[in-house]
Amino acid sequence: MKQLNRIIRDYFGFSATELRGFWILLLFALFLLAIPPITKRVFLQLSRPSTHPAKLDSLITLLEQSVPDRLTNDKKFVVKTNYLRFNPNNASRETLIQNNIPSWLADRIIKYRNKGGTYRKKRDLLKIYGFSEDLYAQLENYIVVPKKAAYGSQKKVTASVTSYSKRKEYRTFKKKKLVAFDINQADSVQLKQIPGIGTVLSARIIRFRDKLGGLHSERQFKEVYQISDEAARNLQKYTYISTEYEVDRLSINTDDVSVLAQHPYISYQLARAIFNHRKNYGDFLRIEDCREVYLMEDSIFQNIAPYLGL
C-alpha cells in the first residue's frame, strides 16, 4: 500500500494531504457506482409479486366483482351528452344555455345577431368575445349553419372565345367605387379592398377588434399590431363606427380574473388588483370607482372605461 501511495504521489505530484483526499474521493465514487445495482436488487425483491394461489384467486374474484358489466362488454362504451344541434343565427337563449354556453356568452351571441350580424360559418362564433377554442371544439359537431346563396351575383363566362378582342371584352369590368362600411361589422374580404391592407393585416384588425369587444374610436386603428400610418388613414377614410353600436362590456362586479385578463387593455396584474379591490371593499358603485384600484393609471382607465360595466 505504501508503494502504491508513493507511485501515485510521484506520478501526480500530490502532497500527503492531497493523497488522503484522493483516496477519499475514490472511495466515495466507488460508493456512488455501487448504489444503482444495490437499490435495483432491493426494489426487485420488494416488488416481486406473491405467487400464493389462494391470494391470487381472491384478488381475481374482487376485481370481477368491482368491474361493472358494461365495462366488460366488448362493445365500446359511449358517453351520451345533452348537446342539441343548433343554428346560431336563430337559436334561442335557452337552447344556447342548454348546450353548456354560459348565459352571459349566450346574450352576446344573440346581441351580435340582433345588431344585424350573421354567422356565415361555424367558426364565426369565435368572433364573439369570450367564446374560447375549447368551447368551440366541444360544440363544433352540433353547430349547424345552413349554406346560403352567395351575396350578389356575378356572370360567368362559359362560352369558348377564340378571338383576343372577345376575350378582352369578357374580362374587362368596371372598377367598383369603394363605399365606406361599418368597421365593427366588416369581414376580411371588405377590409382587403382598402389600399394598404392585405390578408395578414385584415386578420390582425379583426382579431384586435373581436378581443376588445368592438371598436369605439378611430384612434384605436393605430393600436393594431404593425399597422402603417397609411393603412390607418385609409381605415379612417373608408370605414366608420356606427353611433348606434355598443361595445361588449366587462362586468367589474362579477367577472373573474381570467375573464378580465383576456381584454387587451387589462393585464393579468391589473385584473387581479380589480378582483382584490372588489373582494376587500365590496362591489363598485360607479365605473369611476375603478380609479381607486391599485395599478389603475389614468391613461389605462381612459382606454378601458368604455368597456367596463357594473
Per residue in 268-284, pLDDT (tens digit) is 999 999 999 999 999 99
Task: Give bridge partners of residue 181 from the DSSP assignment.
Answer: 239
User: Is the residue at 236 inside a domain?
Assistant: yes
7 pLDDT tier (thresholds 50, 70, 90): confident
The reply to whether 149 falls in a domain is no
181 in any annotated domain = yes
Q: What local confidence, expressed as pLDDT, does residue 49 receive? A: 52
187 Cβ contact partners less than 8 Å away, ≥ 6 residues apart: 206
Look at residue 24 and tell me whether its pLDDT is greater than 70.
yes
In sequence order, which residues have a C-beta less than 8 Å from that of residue 296 and are 6 or more positions away? Answer: 270, 273, 274, 290
Domain match, 235 and 179 both:
yes
What is the reported pLDDT for 21? 87
Angstrom distance (rounded) from CA 213 to CA 187: 15
Residue 234: name the closest of 181, 175, 303 by CA.
181
Closest C-alpha to 205, from 219, 217, 181, 187: 187
Q: Is 91 exposed, middle or buried (0-12, 13-18, 19+ CB in 10 A)?
A: buried
| Integer Cα distance of 97 and 103 in angstroms | 6
Length of the chain: 310
Domain housing 107: 93-142
Residues 184 and 233 in one domain: yes
Considering its fold, how many domains does the chain have in total? 4
Does any domain span residue 47? no
Do 276 and 228 lie in a common domain?
no
Map grid coordinates 474521493 to a residue: 25
- Report, as an integer, the average pLDDT of 87-100: 89
The answer on pLDDT for 63 being more than 70 is no
| 3-class DSSP assignment, residue 267 | coil
In this prediction, residue 201 carries a pLDDT of 93
Tell me: do 282 and 236 sit in the same domain: no
Angle, helices 2-12/16-47, rounded to nearest 10 degrees: 110
Domain boundary among 240, 268, 298: 240
Amino acid 156: pLDDT: 41
pLDDT in tens, 111-148: 998 988 888 888 888 889 889 888 888 888 889 888 76
299: amino acid identity, one letter: S
Q: Flag whether 110 is in a domain.
A: yes
The CA dihedral of 96, 102, 106, 111, to the nearest 10 degrees, is: 180
Return the top range by mean pLDDT from 37-46, 49-58, 145-154, 187-196: 187-196
Q: Where are the beta strands (DSSP E) in the chain?
A: 181-182, 239-240, 250-251, 308-309
Q: Are strands 181-182 and 239-240 parallel, antiparallel or unpaired?
A: parallel
- Distance, C-alpha 89 to centroid of its chain: 24
Kindly state whether residue 266 falls inside one of the protein's structural domains. Answer: yes
